[in-house]
């Protein structure tokens, strides 16, 4: 009997430590916002996870396997979430809000709906200088006007990072999706 009581006290104490303090409740309503949305486990778009709100300090978590847990905001400024039904694994939201690093050595990244950039592009809008982008999910294969090839991937909804013979070059896609402005001062149009 004494053993059961001790176990209950430990569990009760453990859960109480996860709940926000009264001061935390006063300081910020709807602190769940930065966590909400669709996530990709290990950055893989085929391994979808999600987080929905369950009040101002609690979340509903669903991992890529369909397993669910409540999520309790913890840590300074509610930048951490603890999942009681997943062995108290903790997730820490990155400062840019794009990644959750979990204490079990896994991570979730925001699932980005990729813009379709596949096709023929032209350096500086010059139709005599064609380039090509092939796209598969978030991965890109690029060929410039001289035949050099590079690889790339999306880093945001309208940003890509590429590598050309060891040289990184980033690109920003225009809102109308018809121009890429490159970090080396050039641009492609279609």
Task: List beta partners, residue 74.
Answer: 80
Strand segments, DSSP code E, in the chain are: 37-41, 48-53, 58-62, 68-74, 80-83, 89-93, 99-102, 107-110, 119-123, 130-136, 139-143, 149-154, 159-164, 167-173, 179-182, 187-189
Task: List beta partners, residue 118.
Answer: none
Q: What are 105-145's pLDDT values in tens digits? A: 999 998 877 789 999 999 999 999 999 999 986 689 999 99
Non-local (6+) Cβ contacts of 104 within 8 A are: 87, 89
Q: What are the structural domain ranges in the chain? A: 25-110, 119-189
CATH for the stretch 25-110: 2.40.128
pLDDT in tens, the chain (190 residues): 343 333 332 232 233 333 333 333 333 345 677 888 889 999 888 899 999 888 777 899 999 999 999 999 886 667 899 999 999 999 999 887 889 999 999 999 988 777 899 999 999 999 999 999 999 866 899 999 999 999 988 877 788 889 998 889 999 999 999 999 999 999 999 9
- What does the pLDDT read at residue 137? 65
- What does the pLDDT read at residue 2? 41
- What does the pLDDT read at residue 38? 86
- What does the pLDDT read at residue 34? 82
């Amino acid at each position: 009997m004494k053993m059961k009581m001790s176990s209950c006290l430990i569990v009760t104490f453990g859960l109480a430590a996860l709940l926000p303090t009264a001061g935390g409740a006063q300081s910020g309503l709807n602190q769940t916002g930065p966590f909400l949305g669709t996530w990709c486990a290990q950055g893989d778009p085929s391994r979808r996870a999600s987080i929905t709100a369950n009040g101002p300090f609690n979340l509903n978590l669903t991992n890529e396997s369909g397993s669910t847990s409540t999520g309790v905001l913890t840590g300074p400024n509610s930048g951490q979430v603890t999942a009681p039904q997943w062995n108290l694994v903790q997730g820490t939201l990155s400062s840019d809000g794009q990644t959750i690093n979990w204490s079990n050595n896994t991570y979730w990244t925001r699932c980005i709906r990729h813009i379709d950039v596949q096709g023929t592009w032209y350096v500086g809008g010059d139709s005599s200088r064609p380039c090509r982008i092939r796209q598969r999910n978030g991965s890109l294969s690029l060929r410039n006007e001289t035949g050099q090839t590079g690889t790339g991937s999306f880093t945001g909804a309208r940003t890509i990072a590429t590598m050309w013979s060891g040289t990184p070059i980033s690109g920003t896609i225009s809102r109308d999706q018809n121009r890429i402005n490159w970090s080396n001062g050039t641009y492609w149009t279609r």
